[in-house]
Structure 1
């Protein structure tokens, strides 16, 4: 397990900022990476509740899930959605994950276009990948396939996705879920370096074991060595989003989210 002692003084300060109501000072992280939230974290909460939690932990980027903004949303609904984000100081940087065997590919890209997203995170049917590549070219929108570990036989780890897209348009890439990557037995730090040019998005999480039995925990408490991951991010000069996807205590996630955000910021500031 990754030790958190080295970062406790730094992260405790960040956590105080995250959960306090009147504190405005915050440490400035060296080489800070863009931190976001994966929308799935909030699938039990309304958009208003989601934005309030993001405000509490001072995270300003959101990957938009369709339970907050449905794919068939009207122009007025999209406008109202983004007005709420603007009022909360939040940017919707991508949409997804979108996808199953019955997904309307054209509809998904049209949705991204109407929303103004430059990145779709997807879990497509294998048969749809050639069609997705065509839409990537048509809409000039990047598409990142999300790996899902041993629970998803098509997209288990970064390598499985890379093998499918390595000869496609360079706007076809990977959303590297580091927790699922290690649950399949792969090394997310090594995979980050190997497939850097095709990794468009990262889902930050940690798990209890490097196997299918691994379960979600706070970012600093699991088997993934987050300082090594941050070192790799610096090494490859990663410029994409690092989005926390917190899947423990999903009925009441705020404290775990705050701890995870504080830990990541503390590691980056080390």
Structure 2
């Protein structure tokens, strides 16, 4: 959604009708945004996920809240799923719809701050289960390939002066020490077993792009402790300048709207 809003900017700039603060509510939709506030990920085990994003990756807790239930919460989050279940003539629970309206299940959230974005962790649990502990009410998805439509991922910057290959090696080791066996980075070569993946040389941890429009971009794909898709990137020149120039252009467009 955010990318779609950004794409509106050139057309708005050409229209010659910048939005002033007094008429913000009649401005183009992109002029009413101030950026991405957070990314959310539904987790199977809240305490485990929280440990990963705060103690391993160094995020800072903003707040935690929970025991959310009742019809307003239920329908705000799940009305589209209720409609789908009704159309298919199936019990909503069979397609992963918890009973927040009746209170049989509850929703807990924790917000974690990084430098430029917030991550929200969500867990849907049975009412009798203590907050933060144990598994979620719903079963985790069986297939987690990023090629599935609607899949999303969280991407973290690696600082320019950090050895990327060493970072990934250390991340895997720290997570293994904590028993987070899901945290496994892919390799740039064919590996058919977990033993082969672990034995691959450190030089295969990271794909480094050194030509074309993405010249300077390095990345790895990695699953998080909940099986969520993560990406770690290092963005060096010249592609780093490409992003910086694009941000400057956007700021100039937004400044022109008032």
Q: Shorter-chain-normalised TM-score: which range?
A: under 0.3
Choose between structure 1 and 2: higher helix proportion: 1
Q: TM-score, normalised by structure 1?
A: 0.23
Larger Rg: 2
TM-score (norm 2): 0.24
Higher relative contact order (CA 8 A, sep 6+): 1
